[in-house]
Amino acid sequence: MKPAIKITASRKGTKKNNVILREKPLNNGNKSLYLDIYRDGTRTYEFLKLYVNAKARTPIDREANREVLELAEKIRTQKESDLNHEAHGQISPSTKKINFLDYYQAYIDKYTKADIRMIKASFERFKDFLKEYYPALQYNIKPDQLTKDMMMLFVEYLESKSTGEGALTFYKRFKKVIKYAVEHNVISKNPCAGVVCKVDEHALTKDILSVDEMKKLIATRYPEQNLNTRRAFIFTLYTGIRFCDIIELKYSDVDFSNKTLKFNQAKTKGHSANSWVNIPLNDGLLSLIGDKPAKPDFIFHLPSQTMCLKALRHWVTKAGIDKHITWHCGRHSFAVNILNNGANIKTVASLLGHSGLKHTEKYTRAVDSLKEKAINSLPTFEN
């Protein structure tokens, strides 16, 4: 027969290094078990959702208490081991056993930033990659199985499956999760270190609408057209505002008396001093916004991003424009067209909400490319 395990007092506890197993009396007479955790001078609590019967009198009740306390002690010991390994920059044995795919999904579940869609997409790309190149690991891959060679192959896979900046976009989000895992002692060494995705992120790779194509698109109407989607995309073409900001614009963001729009960019909110954007509004833009309603409201009531994209592509096809146009192409079109019309790069950067000129320079390169194509479109001649 196994010796009985002593139930510790709720205040005293049994301290073993930095994790203490304690009890909290409940109104029903039972006791809830929890961990009292000391880490880097801070104290936190973790309730185990395990309970003991404080009035156990029968052998069955006492045996049940003993089993619960054994489980609680195992959890306490494991938590202590994890913290001690973490304190010395080591990966704990339990962490080495986790499934990185589960860890990735848990990261997604807690993620709240605007690029959540791309984080999810990068996860799907990684799972597809494992299925094709590492089928034995497609459902369970340990952190130490993520090697530099695997990352190099993953980048090649992304580059073969993506167009434009797609590969770099997916890889950036993937590296974000890897960095987080390294910082939290899930991965001992960053396998992405030194592995580069060779894409010119300063080159404009998406299609853009010329001024004539913009006019052609705006002139195209059809009975089943979603007027809110139409209104919002035209607004993007004339302001360069991202889709994630368009859907959040409110009438309270508009100063009707001074004809200006001021909003905080979702992409850089809380991360940049240049997060706020001020855009002057002409009569055309004010007509798209409409009159201010009596109650606070959004300017554009739009369906899901997927439905908006489908509506846009249908509209572009109806207009007879043979280009792959997305909502972000509206932002690119705005920047290139106003540069073509003489706007300086600093003005464009300010209107787009860029913190510097680095991200705006790709539009000047696109303008140079368009000028070169225009010159080369003329017939050749001999002097």
First to last CA, the chain: 108
- Cβ atoms 358, 368 nearer than 8 A: no
The answer to whether residue 125 sits within a structural domain is yes
| 244 and 364 within one domain | yes
DSSP, collapsed to helix, strand or coil, labels residue 16 as strand
Question: What number is the average pLDDT over the span 212-217?
Answer: 95
Residue 3 resides in a domain: no
- The model's confidence at residue 381, banded by pLDDT at 50, 70 and 90, is low
Sequence-distant (6+) residues with CB within 8 A of 265 are: 242, 245, 272, 275, 276, 277, 353
**Residue 26 φ then ψ, to 5°:** -110, 165
Q: Which is more confident, 318 or 347? A: 318
151 & 260 share domain: no
pLDDT tens by residue, 288-340 = 999 999 898 999 999 988 899 999 999 999 999 999 898 988 998 998 888 88
Mean pLDDT of 25-43: 86
pLDDT at 120: 94
Same domain, 20 and 134: no
Least confident of 15-24, 267-276, 344-353: 267-276
Percent above pLDDT 70 for the chain: 84
Residue 10's pLDDT is 43
- 191 in a structural domain: no
Instruction: Note whether residue 1 is domain-resident.
Output: no
| 82 and 102 co-located in one domain | no
Average model confidence (pLDDT) for the chain? Answer: 85
Mean pLDDT calculated for residue range 41-68 = 89
Check which CATH number belongs to the domain holding 304 and give it. Answer: 1.10.443.10
**Are residue 56 and residue 108 in the same domain, yes or no?**
no
What's the pLDDT at 240? 92
pLDDT reported for residue 371: 64
| 1-15, 30-44, 253-267: least confidently modelled range | 1-15
Q: Is residue 216 scored above 90 in pLDDT?
A: yes
**Which one-letter DSSP state was computed for residue 103?**
H
Query: Domain check: are 50 and 130 in the same one?
Result: no
Question: Is 2 a domain residue?
Answer: no
User: For 43-52, 242-251, 294-303, 361-370, which range has the lowest pLDDT when averaged over its residues?
Assistant: 361-370
In a domain, 203, yes or no: no
Answer yes or no: do 370 and 250 share one domain: yes
- Check pLDDT > 50 for residue 9: no
pLDDT tens, 108-151?
999 988 789 899 999 999 999 999 889 999 999 999 899 999 99
72 and 146 housed in the same domain: no
For the cut 90, the answer to whether the pLDDT of residue 239 exceeds it is: yes
Burial of 325 per CB tally in 10 Å (0-12, 13-18, 19+): buried
Which stretch of 75-89, 166-180, 362-376 has the lowest confidence by average pLDDT?
Answer: 362-376
What pLDDT was estimated at residue 7?
Answer: 45
Q: Which range has the top average pLDDT, 187-191, 231-235, 262-266, 371-375?
A: 231-235
DSSP structure string for 289-340: H-SPPSS--BS-----HHHHHHHHHHHHHHTT--S---HHHHHHHHHHHHHH
Same domain, 113 and 221: no
Q: What pLDDT does 379 receive?
A: 73
State the residue for tokens 């009531």: 301
Tell me, what's the pLDDT at 369? 67
3-state secondary structure the chain: CCCCCCCCCCCCCEEECCEEEEEEECCCCCEEEEEEEEECCEEEEEEEEEEECCCCCCHHHHHHHHHHHHHHHHHHHHHHHHHHHHHCCCCCHHHHCCCHHHHHHHHHHHCCCCCHHHHHHHHHHHHHHHHHHCHHHCCCCCHHHCCHHHHHHHHHHHHHHCCCCHHHHHHHHHHHHHHHHHHCCCCCCCCCCCCCCCCCCCCCCCCCCCHHHHHHHHHCCCCCCCHHHHHHHHHHHHHCCCHHHHCCCEHHHEECCCCEEEEECCCCCCCCCCCEEEEECCHHHHHHHCCCCCCCCECCCCCCHHHHHHHHHHHHHHCCCCCCCCHHHHHHHHHHHHHHCCCCHHHHHHHHCCCCCCCCHHHHHHHHHHHHHHHHCCCCCCC
Q: Which residue among 87, 109, 126 closes a domain?
A: 87
Count of the separate structural domains present in the chain = 3
Label residue 59 exposed, middle or buried (CB < 10 Å: 0-12, 13-18, 19+).
Answer: exposed
pLDDT at 224: 93
| Rounded Cα distance, 255 and 274, in Å | 20
Judge whether residue 202 has pLDDT over 60. no
Reported as type and span, the H/E element at residue 277 is strand 276-280
Range of the domain at 332: 211-376
- 77 and 119 assigned to the same domain: no
User: Quick check: pTM over 0.85?
Assistant: no
Asked, for residue 189, whether it belongs to a domain, the answer is no
Are 289 and 167 in the same domain? no
Q: What is the pLDDT of residues 256-286, one digit of tens each?
A: 999 999 999 887 776 666 789 999 999 999 9
Higher-confidence position of 185 and 71: 71
Is the domain of 145 the same as that of 239? no
- Nearest-angstrom CA–CA distance, 135 and 214: 47
Asked if the structure places residue 349 within a domain, the reply is yes
Domain boundary, last residue among 34, 62, 87: 87
Residue with the larger pLDDT of the pair 383 and 188: 188
**What CATH number has the domain bearing residue 113?**
1.10.150
CB atoms within 10 A of CB 92: 19
Q: Mean pLDDT lowest for which of 84-93, 191-200, 246-255, 313-322?
A: 84-93
